[in-house]
């Protein structure tokens, strides 16, 4: 019997994840919120390790999502560009850890935005963050995750 692959979500952000996926939230499921948060964390260079995990999420949910597993691979490849073997099948656990930590960092960024704006309009906050990521600036350098954000439908 094969072991089902799962990834962690940070316990400290359970309330935020509930808001992001609730009735008025911008996402339908926790894995969608974590995909966005990991992209945001990578973009903002916020990789935050964590120990305490909430309920684990089945990796199959991400695999079945268009570009989900590709996003996880891209984030890992961008993190260690000198190590092409990070994409090997036997290193999925390492890629998932990188993804989890960037998702945690992205959730920290989202919480900071909520706190700064004093707003609970998460759809507006997420939309604003996406627009910021897609708006070129004079000092923009190549961001391998940006291309994936461009291709995803949120």
Give the C-alpha separation, 88 to 41, whole Å: 23
Q: What is the pLDDT of residue 142?
A: 63
Q: What is the largest CA-CA distance in the chain?
A: 53
Q: What is the pLDDT of residue 133?
A: 84
32's tokens: 């969608």
Q: What is the pLDDT of residue 143?
A: 65
Low-confidence ranges of the chain (pLDDT < 70): 1, 137-154
Q: What is the pLDDT of residue 67?
A: 84
């Amino acid at each position: 019997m094969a072991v089902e692959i799962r990834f962690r979500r940070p316990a400290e952000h359970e309330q935020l994840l509930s808001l992001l996926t609730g009735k008025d939230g911008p996402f339908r499921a926790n894995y969608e919120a974590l995909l966005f948060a990991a992209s945001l964390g990578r973009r903002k260079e916020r990789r935050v390790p964590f120990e305490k995990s909430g309920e684990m999420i089945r990796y199959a949910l991400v695999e079945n999502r268009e570009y989900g597993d590709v996003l996880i691979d891209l984030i890992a490849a961008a993190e260690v560009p000198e190590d092409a073997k990070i994409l090997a099948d036997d290193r999925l656990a390492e890629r998932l850890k990188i993804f989890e930590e960037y998702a945690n960092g992205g959730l920290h960024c989202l919480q900071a935005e909520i706190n700064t704006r004093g707003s609970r309009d998460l759809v507006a906050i997420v939309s604003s963050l996406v627009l910021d990521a897609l708006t070129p600036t004079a000092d923009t350098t190549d961001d391998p995750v940006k291309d994936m954000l461009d291709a995803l439908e949120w």
